[in-house]
Chain A
């Protein structure tokens, strides 16, 4: 059910003209931003790191807006009620949706790297060429699970997109996707430490530039599994709340 659901949601998402336009342009913008940022900082030798960071930002944006947007779109198109009416655990119903957003997020990473190579000649010399795709896949799976936790709040809120907008920049900043966590104020440290995005980003960066990949990836997946468990429990509560407050439909 999860596999078929995720596949069909990927199909549905990837056929949206809006999503296609976003997927075409956003990676170019993000790759450009990252490259100029690092060049201006006098670190042209770290351009691969910049491209990977930009790719991670793209993955995060896709998962966040995918989870929020997918729930909101389903509410608009009247399918949210239909899927929540299935005799399944609400979390099981929504997991394929958030996984699908993670899978489409893979494109953001690939596109950013490709644009970085084509437009700016960034050499794709990964320190751990085998570990890199594994780290990206693990990071995306982790974000998909984290997405479920986010989706639970999106189910409850009629204006889920407002929450998604609010979360985009703080999370990628605090997680060290582009700027190292060590460069941020000290108080962000504990916040960063509990976010799966931080550890996923670290694993991917280390696979690209060198460093221990597996411990960071393991922590990312462990936190993500905890998010999945929390999302599972929360979703049951949220589904009931949504039936009390009548937020599954638009009106």
Chain B
């Protein structure tokens, strides 16, 4: 079982006290395969999410692919109807008061899609301004203001098909802000964006939060969440596994040390063997270009370096470093714990 972080309350706070409130949010999908002997499968994409986000807060929802981040956002922004639980945005129910919710939210997702490529950036914003009911006399000023905010001034009349991914992403943000939403959902906005553009995006998001807009940001870039978010929820397996400030989340890796080994050609068998060594808590393997970076978290009092190097006998090795755990290590620990067959619901740091 995952950890319910907001408590099992089924009563919402006073109307609109929080920007976002979700209680026991569920969403499952049914699929059918085969004709002669049809097999039905039910997938629980979101399996009981409880969370509250205050007005003006920049809140991060962090998790691996398929953890339920996008589904949670789509349940909160009315694109999907939950199969269980309830959610409110600024006090309005996402199922029954859809239009009220939609007036107050903006939604921006990452990637190349979501814009009319053959129209200019200005035409895109003009159309969405009409859709979102921005008064005609205000549209011109608002659109110019937003081009300024997302640093696209001078490129307004270019067709979107000629935009770089970073520029599209900034245009997306401008589109999401046209009607001055009180809550902005940002679903992996920096995916596929180069580091410079990602930094500009982060600056734009930080500026927004500074103006009092509530932002719910999903990402799987730990550094991004660490830099921007006041609080972070780690979601895995459709449940929130941990929630707190970045400093609080780091406690999930307390009492551990991390050994990092740069290697070339580590096999699954070797990984399993390292995982089985006494004192080893987590093992991760990331690929950076041609090299692999093996991360081994162990109990702080156990030096596993000799054991790990012995298991890697025959593998070409690069740099070997030992360090204190970071937020990313805490995240890996939380996600791996959630993936275990019988996960233990541990206490969540306050």
B12 at the interface (CB under 8 A from A): no
From the candidates A11, A76, A82, A243, name the one contacting B119 in the complex (CB within 8 A).
A11
A78 touches B109 (CB 8 A): yes
Please measure, in the bound complex, the distance between the C-alpha atom of A15 and the C-alpha atom of B160, giving whole angstroms.
Answer: 13
* Contacts between the two chains (Cβ within 8 Å), count: 74
Contact flags A207-251 to B (C-beta < 8 A → 1, else 0): 000000000000000000000000000000000100110101100
A83 at the interface (CB under 8 A from B): yes
B113 touches A11 (CB 8 A): no
CB distance from A9 to the nearest CB of B (A): 8
From the candidates B29, B78, B113, name the one contacting A85 in the complex (CB within 8 A).
B78
B116 touches A77 (CB 8 A): yes
A85 touches B119 (CB 8 A): no
B119 touches A12 (CB 8 A): yes
B316 at the interface (CB under 8 A from A): no
CB distance from B118 to the nearest CB of A (A): 4
Contact flags B120-146 to A (C-beta < 8 A → 1, else 0): 000100111011110000000000000
CB distance from B32 to the nearest CB of A (A): 12
CB distance from A56 to the nearest CB of B (A): 28
B103 touches A243 (CB 8 A): no
B102 at the interface (CB under 8 A from A): yes
User: Looking at chain A, what size class is its interface with the partner chain?
Assistant: 20 to 34
B126 touches A8 (CB 8 A): yes
CB distance from B58 to the nearest CB of A (A): 21
B114 touches A82 (CB 8 A): yes
Residue of A nearest to B131 (CB): A86
User: Looking at chain B, what size class is its interface with the partner chain?
Assistant: 20 to 34
From the candidates B99, B114, B133, name the one contacting A79 in the complex (CB within 8 A).
B114
A77 touches B117 (CB 8 A): yes
A1 touches B116 (CB 8 A): no
From the candidates B29, B117, B133, name the one contacting A246 in the complex (CB within 8 A).
B29
B102 touches A87 (CB 8 A): yes
A181 at the interface (CB under 8 A from B): no
Q: Which residues of A contact B133 (CB under 8 A)?
A: 1, 87-88
Please measure, in the bound complex, the distance between the C-alpha atom of A249 and the C-alpha atom of B70, giving whole angstroms.
Answer: 12
A243 touches B81 (CB 8 A): yes
Q: Which residues of B contact A85 (CB under 8 A)?
A: 77-79, 102, 107
CB distance from B286 to the nearest CB of A (A): 26
A87 touches B118 (CB 8 A): no
A78 touches B114 (CB 8 A): yes
From the candidates A5, A16, A76, A78, name the one contacting B131 in the complex (CB within 8 A).
A5
B210 at the interface (CB under 8 A from A): no
Q: Which residues of B contact A1 (CB under 8 A)?
A: 130-131, 133
B118 touches A12 (CB 8 A): yes
B273 at the interface (CB under 8 A from A): no
Contact flags A56-86 to B (C-beta < 8 A → 1, else 0): 0000000000000000000011110111111
Please measure, in the bound complex, the distance between the C-alpha atom of A104 and the C-alpha atom of B130, giving whole angstroms.
Answer: 22
B115 at the interface (CB under 8 A from A): yes
B114 touches A4 (CB 8 A): no
CB distance from B128 to the nearest CB of A (A): 7
Q: Which residues of A contact B15 (CB under 8 A)?
A: none
Q: Which residues of B contact A93 (CB under 8 A)?
A: 131
Please measure, in the bound complex, the distance between the C-alpha atom of A243 and the C-alpha atom of B130, giving whole angstroms.
Answer: 23
User: Given A8-B123, A77-B115, A244–B81 Cβ distance below 8 Å?
Assistant: yes
From the candidates B79, B81, B131, name the one contacting A88 in the complex (CB within 8 A).
B131
Please measure, in the bound complex, the distance between the C-alpha atom of A16 and the C-alpha atom of B123, giving whole angstroms.
Answer: 16
A4 touches B132 (CB 8 A): no
CB distance from A128 to the nearest CB of B (A): 37
A16 touches B118 (CB 8 A): yes
B127 touches A77 (CB 8 A): no
CB distance from A247 to the nearest CB of B (A): 11
CB distance from B82 to the nearest CB of A (A): 10
B103 touches A87 (CB 8 A): yes
Contact flags B48-88 to A (C-beta < 8 A → 1, else 0): 00000000000000000000000000000111110000000
User: Given A1-B130, A79-B114, A246-B80, A86–B119 Cβ distance below 8 Å?
Assistant: no
Q: Which residues of A contact B126 (CB under 8 A)?
A: 4, 8
Please measure, in the bound complex, the distance between the C-alpha atom of A179 and the C-alpha atom of B302, giving whole angstroms.
Answer: 87
Please measure, in the bound complex, the distance between the C-alpha atom of A77 and the C-alpha atom of B168, giving whole angstroms.
Answer: 13
Residue of A nearest to B118 (CB): A15
Please measure, in the bound complex, the distance between the C-alpha atom of A77 and the C-alpha atom of B99, giving whole angstroms.
Answer: 24
Contact flags A1-39 to B (C-beta < 8 A → 1, else 0): 100110010011001100000000000000000000000
CB distance from B17 to the nearest CB of A (A): 23
Q: Which residues of A contact B118 (CB under 8 A)?
A: 11-12, 15-16
Pull 11 A–B residue pairs with CB atoms less than 8 Å apart, ordered by A. A1-B133, A4-B126, A8-B123, A8-B127, A16-B118, A78-B111, A79-B113, A82-B128, A84-B79, A87-B103, A244-B81
Interface residues of A (CB under 8 A from B): 1, 4-5, 8, 11-12, 15-16, 76-79, 81-88, 93, 240, 243-244, 246, 248-249
Q: Which 3 pairs show the lowest CB-CB distances between chains A and B?
A: A78-B113, A86-B131, A87-B102
Q: Known pairs A11-B119, A84-B79. 4 more at Cβ < 8 A?
A: A8-B116, A78-B111, A82-B114, A86-B102
